Amino acid sequence: MSEFDLSFKRARALLEMQEFDDAEREYARAVALEPTHPAAQFGLAKLRYMRGDPSFARDLAAAAAANRNHPALQIQFAEVLRLNGDLDGSELLLRDLIARQGPEPALRSLLAMVLHEAGRLQEALVEAFAAVKSRPDDAAKLQTLVAVLLSLGRAKDAMPLIRAERQLAPLDPIWIAHEATAARLSGDPAYALLYDYDRFVRVYDLDPPPGFGSIAELNAALHACLTARHQLARQPFDQSMRSGTQTTGNLVVDPDPAIQAALGAFLEPIADYRGRLGDAEDHPLSARNHGQTHYAGCWSVLLKAQGFHVNHIHPEGWLSSAYYISVPDETDDPEQQAGWIKFGEPRLPVPGAGPDRTVQPRPGRLVLFPSYMWHGTTALHGTAPRLTMAFDVVTRT
């Protein structure tokens, strides 16, 4: 194993262990050994961002400037700029690449994403269509085109592309989400089948697990142990949250008794959900309802003032969740609905596809829903934080 490989693997392991000084040191060493390695540069920039470093992408920017003819590195830099809201900078970089290296599909597809986020939909459509024309079998480029078509309200144009991909990957969460949105815009009954909120969004107010006299006692223990794990300054720039922090390690393997008790307490609601769902093969949710329950990952989110989650799905999950440990008083207002979880609204604006269901957060409340269902939160307004655990579930035979 090379020195680079050792440093890169150590950095990722140290990040999981929340050894942030050592993780940054190893990432920096890996980048020094291989400055043009996109994933190492991305990892270093992301960690520095979460640590509050104002020049978090300095190594990536320097490497990109020194290696202008390295396409993968340039694309990574453009993506980091996009993820951090510098749409003008990302567009400038991508157009320069296209001018110098030609209209490569990867460049045009990423440029379409930038233009889409900037609200320049017709320009985005031109780039997305050109990328797909060059790479018609590339699912990622098709996703970009479909997202633009839906934002333009062109569900009838998007649906054939979506259903062709559903034939190839019938259980892929992103294509199910896109089909639900297209069906909603078209008045297609598939929307109600895929996004049956009454059936698929379930709310459980937990009973205390063994060893805890009440849910309040469990939540107090969770608050203490999880707050200690929220040591970073900012959220990951490639995740859904805005204004907050997220734990870096998988809580499934965290030995803290409160965390393990909570994971145990979640199993009964999951079993109830599965029992009510059935196992019909003609629906993408129930078709996967066989085998043993397995946590695919668990993490904690601490939302701060003005914090919220942009709409998203969980591509690696089957069922997803939100468990509320502590919430601000402002969440009690049913008119304002600050900090409430919302369902049905896509990642980027689609006319006629706003939130179709909201659920109020309460301490001790667990919300379960399909991982393919668009979800986000409304923003907090005050300064009091909101602390949650979240997990994805899959099944294994």
Per-residue pLDDT of the chain (397 residues; tens, 9 = 90+): 899 999 999 999 999 999 999 999 999 999 999 999 999 999 999 999 999 999 999 999 999 999 999 999 999 999 999 999 999 999 999 999 999 999 999 999 999 999 999 999 999 999 999 999 999 999 999 999 999 999 999 999 999 999 999 999 999 999 999 999 999 999 999 999 999 999 999 999 999 999 999 999 999 999 999 999 999 999 999 999 999 999 999 999 999 999 999 999 999 999 999 999 999 999 999 999 999 999 999 999 999 999 999 999 999 999 999 999 999 999 999 999 999 999 999 999 999 999 999 999 999 999 999 999 999 999 999 899 999 999 999 999 7
Which helix (DSSP H) or strand (DSSP E) does residue 277 occupy? helix 257-277
Residue range 234-246, pLDDT digits in tens? 999 999 999 999 9
- What pTM value is reported for the model? 0.95
Query: What pLDDT, on the 0 to 100 scale, is given for residue 394?
Result: 98
For residues 239 and 247, what is the distance between their CA atoms, to the nearest angstrom? 12
Query: What pLDDT, on the 0 to 100 scale, is given for residue 375?
Result: 98
Q: What domains does the chain contain, in order, with CATH numbers? A: 3-148 (1.25.40.10), 199-396 (2.60.120.620)
- Cα torsion angle, 92, 237, 118, 172, sign: positive
Query: What pLDDT, on the 0 to 100 scale, is given for residue 397?
Result: 75
Q: For the chain, what percentages of helix, strand and coil (3-state, to nearest 5) are there?
A: 50, 15, 35
Length of the chain: 397
SS (H, E, C) 243-266: EEEECCCCHHHCCCHHHHHHHHHH
Query: What pLDDT, on the 0 to 100 scale, is given for residue 1?
Result: 81
